[in-house]
Amino acid sequence: MKESDNIIRKYKQFILLEKSLASNTVEAYLQDLDKLLSFIQSERESRRPDLSLQNLTYGDLQQFVAQLKDQGIQARSQARIISGIKSFYYFLLLDGYVTADPTELLESPKIGTKIPEVLTVGEINDILDSIDLSQPEGQRNRAMLEVLYSCGLRVSELVTLRYSDVFFEEEFIKVEGKGSKQRLVPISQPALHEIKNYLYDRNLVKVKKGFEDILFLSRRGTALSRIMVFHIIKQQAELAGIRKNISPHTFRHSFATHLLQGGADLRAIQLMMGHESISTTEIYTHIDREFLREEIINHHPRNRKG
């Protein structure tokens, strides 16, 4: 059996058992993967005999997506294929077949505005309250999720946040976002309080060289991975009884939505989130309108049943 066949067999087990996907969805994902394998095979035969699933680059994937367009595959189908490929490389990363995800920057074609999932303030509190502070990483996780929500950070910004970039007196943090662009973001008193509590535990960690200034450390004394943060959030949401499909980005969406609902200026939200364009931030106006619509449906006397 070829190594690629063995990897795909394990991936099928992963999406069937661990992701609990429906059988028709599994087959669709595998068919999409076949398209990528065909692309790799054609590249091998033409000019790159050593190309494989494990050494595929972001540039290769861009070429693959360009070929999908040339074949006349519609944007919605392209998006589904890219989603399947991203799922596959997430599995490869988890199982140690690759050390970096080449699909990380791969963008799907625009197929209309999709309103992201958001959490209510109560749900955020439930997740934070579900953290067991008696566990070694409990206070770290609580501080980390409080910062994620209070500052609206990307998960990549959270795991690279430095202790020296937390200004306790001024109540700001310095964040390095996309393209190494830096911004100052206000941080709440509760978040600063949780960080101060976490520092007692952090001082007990044997820090690896090069990670001395990283704020949130793994038990091995290194920076946390984005996947680890994803798993922590999934676990805490489950413990809190929340059934929404959430990720670290859900905290960022919730941060912006709650600011908008509270009357914050869209331009201020853009600056805090580090969006290049105001049009990116404008999606939260759609979320706010949807929230208002649901409030009217649920609470207006003309809509009450019985």
pLDDT of 256 reads 80
Angle (nearest 5°) at CA 101 between 235 and 248: 30
Residue 252 appears among annotated catalytic residues: yes
Residue partners of 270: CB distance under 8 A and separation at least 6:
278, 280, 281
Active-site pick, 154, 202, 226, 258: 154
For the chain, give every residue range classified as CATH 1.10.150.130.
3-94
CATH code for the structural domain at 121-297: 1.10.443.10
For the chain, give every residue range classified as CATH 1.10.443.10.
121-297
Active-site pick, 86, 162, 275, 286: 275
Do residues 118 and 253 make contact, with C-beta atoms less than 8 angstroms apart?
A: yes
> Percent of the chain having pLDDT more than 90?
28
Lowest mean pLDDT among 21-25, 52-56, 199-203: 21-25
User: How does the average pLDDT of the chain come out, rounded?
Assistant: 82
Per-residue pLDDT at 1 exceeds 50: no
Fold of 3-94: DNA polymerase; domain 1 (1.10.150)
Model pLDDT for residues 271-301, shown as the tens digit of each residue: 777 766 555 555 555 545 555 455 445 554 5
Model pLDDT for residues 88-125, shown as the tens digit of each residue: 898 899 888 888 888 888 887 766 555 567 888 899 99
Active-site pick, 9, 76, 178, 231: 178
Per-residue pLDDT at 2 exceeds 80: no
Active-site pick, 80, 252, 253, 258: 252
pLDDT of 292 reads 47
Active-site pick, 11, 29, 89, 284: 284
Residue 234 appears among annotated catalytic residues: no
Mean pLDDT along residues 173-198:
87
User: What is d(CA 262, CA 268) in angstroms, rounded to the nearest whole number?
Assistant: 13
Give the pLDDT band (50/70/90) at residue 232.
very high
Residue 178 appears among annotated catalytic residues: yes
Higher pLDDT, 68 or 301: 68
